[in-house]
Amino acid sequence: MPLKRPAIRPKLSVTVLVASLVFVVIFLVSVGFSLGLLRGITAKTQETSQELLPELVHTHNNLLKIEQIRSYIDLIYWVQNGNLERNYRLESQVLIHSFLFENDPFLASEASNILHDIREIASIRQLQRTLQNEAIQVLSAYHEPTVIKVRGLLSALPQREIREGQMPSAFDELTSLSSFEEIEQRILFISDLNRQLDWMLIDTKARLERVSTYLNSDAALKAQTLATDIGKDIERITQYSIVFMSIVVLLFLFLFFIFKNTLLRPIQSLVAGLKAIEQQGNQTIILKPLFFKELDTIRESIEDYSGLVFRMQKTNQELENLSRIDGLTGLANRRYLDEACKRK
């Protein structure tokens, strides 16, 4: 009969080394993959921040400009001094011009309309001052105390307060003057211009309110977009972290399963085999072949030791039987066996 070829079994040391290398490679691949994903998420987050955050800051600055323009319009409307009005108008124009260069057509259009309204308000105020000065010059030709008093009142009266039906009662004394109609015509013209200014002021502030609402809505949308993008990035990071931890846990469970089935259980079976030798009875211990060569060599040694113990027990039993048949022969054989054991 041909000899049975022994099974080729892997060495434990080589297997552990290969398994460790495979684990390290898988771990490094997982780490590299996760780091690549995290770099992508970080780049996306930075891109989002670099795009949206400056836009939010720019929108906030535009809202501040709108508030400043609103205050300048009020000053242009209420101020009495022409030089101050001119300064406020120029400052408001500088702020409005910044909106004209925006890429947003709505902002550019509304800014152009507001700029036109401010110029109209300033122009009307200047016309009112001219009409008021002309009326004062007409009154300067008269030297009556009553006319001088009315002229002083008219000089001190702001243009916005010159309204039909709301003039001081002293103006009624001018009806006897030859140039009363000329003066009255200018006062009524100033009054009509005040009503026009009131409407223009309401319309201009309504435009500013629309622009402010538009900017607030745009800022809210951008803030929501930024928060949504950041939330998505955090969610992706969480998902990738879970995937990475899952891979690590699965690798650990796989290695534990391999360790348990290829090392722990075989070692336990070898220990149980050694303990079973004492109570093996009339048959030798036969263990299942093991996967690793080193453990299988130990298994073979245990089986050989079990066979040796079995043969010794069998020899002792035979000697004991002989001693019962022939005590002297049995005793001599026992002494001979003891001496042989001592020599060995």
| Crossing angle between the packed helical segments 12-78 and 293-325, to the nearest 10 degrees | 140
C-alpha span between 222 and 232 (Å, rounded): 15
Question: Is residue 210's pLDDT more than 70?
Answer: yes
The identity of residue 313, as a single letter, is Q
Residue that has been written with the tokens 């939010």 in this structure: 56
Give burial (CB, 10 Å; 0-12/13-18/19+) of 186: buried
Per-residue pLDDT at 203 exceeds 80: yes
Two structure tokens written together for 324: 């019962």
Q: Give the C-alpha separation, 289 to 302, whole Å.
A: 12
Q: How many CB atoms lie within 10 A of CB 155?
A: 12
Q: Express each pLDDT in 307-322 by its tens digit.
A: 777 777 777 777 777 6
pLDDT at residue 13, rounded to an integer: 63
pLDDT digits (tens, 9 = 90+) for 60-78: 888 888 899 999 998 888 8
DSSP state of 103: S
What is the sign of the dihedral through the CA atoms of 206, 160, 182 and 126? negative
How would residue 2 be classed by pLDDT, with cut points 50, 70 and 90? very low
Alpha carbons 78 and 100: distance in angstroms, whole number: 26
Q: Nearest Cα to 187, choosing from 202, 172, 199? A: 172
Q: How far apart are CA 342 and CA 78, in angstroms?
A: 130
pLDDT of residue 261: 78
Residue with tokens 């009875």: 281
Whether the pLDDT of residue 3 is over 60: the answer is no
Residues of the chain with pLDDT > 70, as a percent, come to 80
The span from the CA of 269 to the CA of 243, in Å, is 37
Q: Are 237 and 229 in contact (CB under 8 A)?
A: no
Determine the Cα–Cα distance for residues 329 and 69; give it in Å rounded to an integer: 132
Element (H, E) at 112: helix 105-140
* Paired tokens of 202: 């309401």
As a whole number, mean pLDDT of residues 232-241 equals 76
End-to-end CA separation in angstroms for the chain: 36
The pLDDT mean for the chain works out to 77
| Dihedral sign computed on CA atoms, order 64, 67, 73, 77 | negative
Q: Which of 81-90, 288-297, 306-315, 320-329 has the lowest mean pLDDT?
A: 320-329
Question: What residue segments make up the domains of the chain, in order of their start?
Answer: 40-236, 278-343
Residue 131's pLDDT is: 86
For residue 103, which amino acid is it?
N
Residue 333 in this model has a pLDDT that exceeds 80: no
**Token code pair at residue 67:** 């508030």
> Would you place residue 292 in the very low, low, confident or very high pLDDT band (cuts 50, 70, 90)?
confident
Structure tokens at 177: 């003057």
Instruction: Mean pLDDT check: name the lowest of 73-77, 186-190, 203-207, 241-245.
Output: 241-245
Least confident of 24-33, 99-108, 164-173, 219-228: 164-173
pLDDT at 4 over 50: no
- Decide if pLDDT at 126 tops 80: yes
Distance, CA of 71 to chain centre? 37
pLDDT surpassing 50 at residue 80 = yes
Instruction: Evaluate if residue 342 carries a pLDDT over 50.
Output: yes
Cα–Cα distance between 316 and 338 in angstroms, integer? Answer: 12
242 or 179, which is more confident:
242
CB–CB of 204/84 below 8 Å?
no
Give the mean pLDDT of 238-265: 79
Q: In terms of pLDDT, which residue wins out, 175 or 203?
A: 203
Confidence of residue 199 (pLDDT cuts 50, 70, 90): very high
> Which CA distances in Å does 205 have to 176, 182, 194, 201, 212?
43, 35, 16, 6, 10
pLDDT of residue 173: 64
Question: Quick one: pLDDT at residue 175?
Answer: 66
| Calpha distance 43→45 (Å, rounded) | 5
The pair of structure tokens assigned to 14 is: 């080589």
Tokens 């009553």: give the residue: 146
